[in-house]
Amino acid sequence: MKRILFLCVGFLAGLQVTFAQQRPQYTQYVFNSYLLNPAVSGIENYVDLKAGYRSQWTGLDGAPVTSYITINAPLGQNFVQGDAGAMSAGAESPYSRSYTQEYMASEPHHGVGFALVSDKTGPISQTNMNLSYAYHLGLAPKLNLALGVAAGVNHISLNTSEITLENPLDPAISNGNNSQWKPDISAGVWAYSASYYFGVSVQQLLRQNLYFNTTSNVTQSQTVPHYFFTAGVKLPMNDDVSLLPSVLVKVIQPVPTTYDVNLKMAFRDIFWLGASYRKDDSFGALAGINISSTINLGYSYDFTTSALRTVSNGTHEIVIGILLNNRYKVRCPQHSF
């Protein structure tokens, strides 16, 4: 059996060979926190639609390619019809000092959302679809708490035509169940104010056994829970410029804990620049622009620092955001950053 089959087995078992996790990773997680935490559903008082594409380790045959579309929206008239910034000076830029000083916790409300994520690594393809629900309430005059859950299905398939074997009838994959649907549940908590946020979430709560062959345990593997711990802070330098450092910690057994560190510099609600670091993997450069109150765009490029740098040309990621029913014509998020 060729090495590509061992790559597949290692991926599904969650072993740290080349892939350290069973779910896709994102450099621009700060641009769409909903991908990691269902509690973010409905955090803004407009319909937030995003589409993303990530080509990881370009130049390496069979490297991960991820695409997704997400949409989430709030429910609750007092919030949807209320002040865009949940404060008396809602017209202020969320990066200004006055915004952080006058911010008030948003009205209690619900949030709903939908995510479709497609990820392909070599001959293995995964498609995850889920619906989410969140409830937002005020814990203090300037602090909100959101609790969220998501439920859906995950489809995993193995394209045997992309695998070359010494024995075409190898029992590891021949006559097996190479296309499987599994239930999937996620949950999360998200606390946020005008100047900071922190969240905890878990994906793949339901452990699922995966067999590519029903008569042999050669390719037996199991999905494992993915825990994400996120935090960020907004540091206004003046009324036009803010620094926004953030961190994402990923705990996925049995692989070692890893983390991402991200720093953005935002110029009011027009554009931002940033840099990122992923432990033992890459450095990244990021940029984004809020073209109007309807559309925004983010791009990142990762410079590979792991052993794959000899065969990889880096990683490209692009995210397009659409703000629907944006009644207050805000150009960037008011409650997340």
Q: How confident is the model at residue 8 (pLDDT cuts 50, 70, 90)?
A: very low
* Per-residue pLDDT at 281: 85
User: What is the pLDDT of the chain when averaged over all its residues?
Assistant: 84
Q: Nearest-CA neighbor of 150 among 180, 192, 188?
A: 188
* Per-residue pLDDT at 89: 44
Q: Specify the higher pLDDT residue, 175 or 109.
A: 109
* Per-residue pLDDT at 162: 65
pTM value is 0.85
Q: Nearest-CA neighbor of 70 among 114, 12, 120?
A: 114
| pLDDT-above-70 percentage for the chain | 82
Segment 3-26 shows an average pLDDT of 50
Rounded to whole angstroms, the Cα distance separating 232 from 262 reads 9
Q: Between β-strands 241-251 and 221-222, what pairing exists: parallel, antiparallel or unpaired?
A: unpaired
> How does pLDDT run across 142-189, given as a tens digit for each residue?
899 999 999 999 998 887 666 666 666 565 555 566 788 899 999 999
* Per-residue pLDDT at 85: 61
* Per-residue pLDDT at 152: 97
Contact by Cβ (8 Å): 116, 126: no
* Per-residue pLDDT at 166: 65
- Which residues have a Cβ under 8 Å from the Cβ of 130 and sit 6 or more positions away? 38, 114, 115, 150, 151, 152, 153, 184, 186
Q: What are phi and psi of 81, to 5 degrees?
A: -90, 0
H or E segment to which residue 226 belongs: strand 226-233
Rounded to whole angstroms, the Cα distance separating 300 from 286 reads 4
* Per-residue pLDDT at 19: 41
* Per-residue pLDDT at 213: 60
Q: How confident is the model at residue 6 (pLDDT cuts 50, 70, 90)?
A: very low
Q: Is 262's pLDDT higher than 80?
A: yes
Rounded to whole angstroms, the Cα distance separating 162 from 165 reads 10
> How does pLDDT run across 273-332, given as a tens digit for each residue?
999 999 988 899 999 999 999 999 999 999 988 877 777 778 999 999 999 999 888 888
E strands present in 76-217:
109-121, 124-140, 143-158, 179-192, 196-203, 209-210
> How does pLDDT run across 193-234, given as a tens digit for each residue?
988 999 999 999 988 776 666 555 554 577 889 999 999 999
* Per-residue pLDDT at 215: 57
* Per-residue pLDDT at 90: 47
* Per-residue pLDDT at 12: 40
- Which residues have a Cβ under 8 Å from the Cβ of 222 and sit 6 or more positions away? 13, 14, 207, 208, 209, 210
DSSP 18: S
Rounded to whole angstroms, the Cα distance separating 140 from 115 reads 30
Q: How confident is the model at residue 94 (pLDDT cuts 50, 70, 90)?
A: confident
Q: What are phi and psi of 164, to 5 degrees?
A: -105, 120
Segment 329-337 shows an average pLDDT of 82
CA angle 62, 71, 114 (to 5 degrees): 75
